[in-house]
Amino acid sequence: MVSMQKFGLSDRMAAVAGLVPHGVRACDVGCDHGFVSIYLVREQICPSVIAMDINRGPLLRAKEHIESARLSAYIETRLSDGIEKLLPGEAECMIAAGMGGRLIVKILEDHPETLSSLRYLVLQPQSELRFVREYLRRKGFVIQKEDMVLEDGKFYPMMLVEVLCPGEVRRDAGSEEEINNYRYHLEDAFGPCLIKEKHPVLLEYLTFWEAQQEKIWKEVQAYPGRRAQVEEELGRIRDVRRLMQS
């Protein structure tokens, strides 16, 4: 995990950039000010980047920053809704950070041909992590690596995902046995690599989340249905801790 702020990157975005494999051409979806794209080229992680955004204002600011960094020969800006304007073969890695989980899944679903031409995804959903991980698992994609950052009192998980190659044989990620497997539900919620690697920030998050749930539990004693939901979540937290200790 990158902890030092460079080229205007927060720790969170530096950690996102740190998940991008070296040597790949990247597209940064929702590039905002273009700082991630600049970082990737300046640090020689990517030979080229296509910085994309659905909004013209942020894209113009990104272009100004790229020109100021004298990297226009290596970073192209492109107005695009998701990866709509990305042609198959133009990039090997897609970065989508700082947007909702369902929006990220929609971006992946909307352009299957372009998606299948990618090798990697670097994703940092701001919400609905369980939904995103479950989607990836059922599609047979592989979460290769995860990181988690605590910044300004908020927890930010992120992941490097391997995209399926056409015709590649994988286990049936959508089988009934796997869908009903309790461990997969825990991994979808908290991160398979974070659990396996006993990530210290995940441990911090578990402590925080457990305290939140215990507070709610005390407030919902008169509501059996809600109380049962909270008790179930507390059970999952304890089970994740046991997995991390094993």
Q: What confidence tens digit (pLDDT) does each residue in 160-203 have?
A: 999 976 445 454 455 555 556 899 999 999 999 999 999 999 99
Residues with Cβ within 8 Å of 115's Cβ and at least 6 positions away in sequence, in order, are 83, 94, 108, 163
Residue 217: CB atoms within 10 Å: 16
The token pair that represents 175 in the structure block: 């089988």
pLDDT at 175: 54
Kindly report the pTM of this predicted structure.
0.90
State the residue for tokens 């909270």: 230
The token pair that represents 230 in the structure block: 């909270």
Separation CA 15–CA 6 (nearest Å): 11
> Low-confidence residues of the chain, pLDDT below 70?
1-7, 165-180
pLDDT at 246: 84
Residues with Cβ within 8 Å of 185's Cβ and at least 6 positions away in sequence, in order, are 236
